Structure 1
Amino acid sequence: MDKKFAELSFEEIMKQNERRVHYHIHRLNVRDPHKEFYQEGLVAMWNAYEKYEPDKGPLATYFNYSIRNRMIDLMRKKARALRNDEVFIEEEKKKMDNGNRSCKDRLPLLDFSDIPVDDRSVWKHVRERLTDNQWKWVASFIILELPLKEIARREGVTVEAVKSWGKQARKKLRDAKLKEKLLALVEGA
């Protein structure tokens, strides 16, 4: 350790070099309302003080290197956490959308889980409310669970056309009156 630093305690060295931490916070354009970066800079300074080897260079240079790199690491950690939060929020939104990803207003489909899927009379009633193309979408996408590309290939149309069929079918399936009729049909059977 430098002779002049060997006689000083860390508190004295910290007071002399505290401005380095503020310099790097400013230099990296960091907003630090909770003083996290300031604390990280002090910890980096402490670690540099403890690990310092005088034959490898001046202590001030080692302080600068340590403080700056610790702050960059903290910035990366915060950015990674923010990205992970955004991914989690997006996944939760998808769950709330109930699979209705192509609708711009993001209204969820009505929950038809209480209506038996294997009841032909229910599907017959749904079929009566839809056009031929809308029914093709329901039969292929909902009942058979085929991907849109496969439906488009089978029908000889574009994927966009199949999406359009689905959009129009969803509008009709969202109708609360339809659900009431279907429930009455199931309960009456």
Structure 2
Amino acid sequence: MVKDKFTFEEIFEQNERRIHYHLHKLNIRDPHQEFYQEGIVAMWNAYENYQPDKGPLSTYFNFTIRHRLIDLIRKENRRLEMEELAPKEEDAAFESDVYHKASLPASSEGNPAEHITNDFYLWQKVKELLTEKQWKWVRFYIIEGMTLREIAEQEGVSIEAVKSWAKEARKRLRSLDDFGKLLVKEEYP
């Protein structure tokens, strides 16, 4: 066996150029000698695991070194890819978080949603524009925060009926161009 005749240092001195050959062949720039070191480790593993009856040692060195370097290239590419994706994922998570926080009620200080729900004049004007059922949906769903199921149970109707009230209320409020003008009150302090 080769191990009995030669030490690894002797084999390495004779075959070191194989590592440089594969680095060059694979177009690897190796300023920190990471790939070169990986080649040495691959050569050591090939030396340790070599079985003479399977073929020449030089072929086994070439195979092992080349594939180990390719594996390291793939590993490095995955790492770089993850470094590029991580900020994008963080940005997406941040945007999603901002979106969800914007949809949640803020503190009572400066919360426009709270001021709107407490504005009696506004709701009187809205009530005047809607039918009785549409107003029930606005009152229970928007002002009081009930679910569609709770409204349906309270009113003794189906959830689909409550959804229909909501759809018609939205449609009516959107179609009124002067809705904003109706809400402006001159006598409001």
Shorter chain as denominator, the TM-score bin is 0.5 to 0.7
Find the counterpart in structure 1 of residue 146 from structure 2: 146
Residue identity opposite 2:185 in structure 1: A
Equivalent-residue separation in structure 2 for 1:159 and 1:79 (angstroms): 43
Q: Which structure: larger Rg?
A: 2
**1:68 aligned residue (74, 86, 90):** 74
> Which of 34, 40, 44 is residue 55 of structure 1 equivalent to?
44
56-65 or 135-144: which moved more? 56-65
In the alignment of these two chains, the number of paired residues is 151
Paired residue type of 1:47? E
Q: Contact 1:115 / 1:182 at 8 angstroms: preserved in 2?
A: no
Residue type at the aligned position of 2:16: A
Residue of structure 1 equivalent to 2:58: none
In the alignment, which residue of structure 1 is the partner of 2:183?
Answer: 182
SS in 1 for 2:118: coil
Deviation, 1:120, is 3.2
Q: Give the TM-score normalised by the residue count of structure 1.
A: 0.56
1:83-104 deviation per Cα after TM superposition (whole angstroms, max 9, x unaligned): 55555556667789x79xxxxx
In structure 1, C-alpha distance between the alignment counterparts of 2:169 and 2:71, rounded to whole Å: 62
> What is the correspondence of 1:8-157 to structure 2 with a 5 Å cutoff?
14-18=23-27, 47-51=34-38, 52-53=40-41, 54-57=43-46, 58-75=64-81, 78=84, 82=88, 85-86=91-92, 116-157=116-157
- What corresponds to 1:6 in structure 2? 16
Q: Percent identity?
A: 27
Single out whichever of 55-64 and 145-154 deviates more from structure 2.
145-154
1:139 maps to amino acid: R
- What is the CA-CA distance between 1:151 and the residue it aligns to? 2.4
SS at match of 2:75: helix
Bigger relative contact order (CA 8 A; separation at least 6): 1
Query: Residues 38-75 of structure 1, C-alpha deviation per residue, up to 9 Å, x if partnerless?
Result: xxxx57x9533234413223221211111123334444
CA distance in 1, matches of 2:85, 2:158: 40
Question: How far, CA to CA, are the matches of 1:69 and 1:162 in structure 2?
Answer: 56
Give the CA deviation at 1:178: 1.7
Contact kept in structure 2, 1:152 and 1:159, CA below 8 Å: yes
Local SS of the residue matching 1:146: coil
For residues 117-140 of structure 1, the C-alpha deviation after alignment (integer angstroms, 9 at most, x for no partner) is: 434343222112112221111101
Gaps of 5+ in 1: 22-41, 100-111
Q: In structure 2, what is the Cα distance between the partners aligned to 1:150 and 1:166?
A: 14
Indicate if the aligned counterparts of 1:148 and 1:162 stay in contact, CA closer than 8 A.
Answer: yes
Q: Please give the secondary structure, in 1, of the residue aligned with 2:185.
A: helix
- Structure with greater helix percent: 2
Shift in alpha-carbon separation, 1:49–1:125, aligned structure 2, 3 A = same
Letter in 2 for 1:70: E
Provide the aligned C-alpha RMSD in A. 4.0
> CA distance change for structure 1 residues 14 and 86 in 2, over 3 Å: closer, same or farther?
same
